[in-house]
Copies of this chain bind each other. A is one copy, B any other.
Amino acid sequence: MSHTGRPGRQGFTLGELAVRHGCELRGDPALMVESVAPIGLAGPGSLTFLANPKLLAELRHTAATAVVLDAATVDESPVAALVVSNPHATYARIACELYPAAPVTAGVHPSAIIAASATIDASAWIGPHTVIGDGVTVGARVSVGPGCILEEGVALANDVRVIGRATMCRDVRIGARSVVHPGAVIGSDGFGFANDRGTWLKVPQVGSVMVGDDVEIGANTTIDRGAIGDTIIEDGVKLDNQIQIGHNVRIGAHSALAACVGVSGSATIGKRCMIGGAAGIVGHLSICDDVAVTGLTMVSSSITEPGMYSSGWPAERTGDWRRVVARVKRVERLVERISKLERVGRDAQNVDKKQEQE
């Protein structure tokens, strides 16, 4: 049985999609699509896309009504095609039309607790059991889902969406159209302690967190408030789930960090960087613009030139791996053996030369 995807809210003809998204259409403009589905599982009525060349074999057997793809692959399509130079982006735009976000219902759920001094735009929605502190401002068409905490002084710009069960601590600011997923904690204290003869004194964390426009903050991601200045997430940054951002970090516009990344305090990441999953960025360093870091990499000194950086070790059979580890940990012995061979070689040459001289 083919998987036609959950039906979207409405359908479109390929003709209108081609016009609206500037695609070349190969196929019948009257064909209608009303859902999206994976290329290998798509059925009648659904749209799919091809951006990953590894899926070319699946394209050849797709049962979708239409595929968004580029000129290089269009001839392989057995079905109607919307041809465009960046199929993933065009697919994203069409999928947004097929599955539009529900409009925000204005109002405040009666179980929400709202401080008298908070300013909630009349077009915003505040969900059940959400708690909003003194002086909070919530902009137009903002949606704050159930179970959130917005401490005093938090400011959400227009069209922010907080799905639910997120915490924003005092004075945190979130820019327009940003999205905050469940479990995220923004503006909790940074890890600031001064060692005083063996015990730790807490250093008050008096900065806050400034989040730009069009930022996405994943589920259970944590962003610490600044110790003595602000933590800054610039416009368009995308943070996946379970990321940890330390105090006074700055992340440049349009950078994307995959899940489980940790960024230590006072590190600066440039614009348009891409940080792979579970990478660790050491504190007090700087990564320039346009750097990519692959997954599980440790960045422990500043990066000053764009490019791709790595330090992860691919898995192998445990037995083989243990042999490699043992050998590498004794690499100095190999060096000694080489040095000895070199000395022997030099001595031999000297003997030869001496013999020649004799």
Contacts and interface: CB of A to CB of B under 8 A. Distances in A.
A129 B109 contact: no
Interface stretch (A74-82, A117-125, A326-334): A326-334
Nearest to A337: B338
Interface in A202-224: 202-204, 206-208, 214, 216, 218-220, 222, 224
Interface stretch (A12-20, A22-30, A135-143, A252-260): A252-260
A246 interface: yes
Contact of A185 (B182, B315, B341): B182
* Identical chains bound together, number: 3
B206 A95 contact: yes
A60 B142 CA distance: 45
A260 B245 CA distance: 11
Contact of A241 (B3, B224, B315): B224
Contacts of A325: 313-314
A335 B169 CA distance: 55
Contact of A198 (B164, B254, B321): B254
A312 interface: yes
A280 interface: yes
Contacts of A298: 295-296, 312-315
A295 B299 CA distance: 10
B344 A345 contact: yes
A57 interface: no
Interface in A293-310: 293-301, 303, 307-310
A247 to B, nearest CB: 10
Contacts of A293: 315
A275 B282 CA distance: 13
A203 B311 contact: no
Interface in A266-293: 272, 277-278, 280, 282, 284, 293
A129 B313 CA distance: 46
Contacts of A322: 310
Nearest to A113: B128
A31 interface: no
A228 B3 CA distance: 10
A201 interface: yes
A23 to B, nearest CB: 14
B342 A241 contact: no
A200 B149 contact: no
A146 interface: yes
Contact of A194 (B86, B200, B264): B86
Nearest to A87: B194
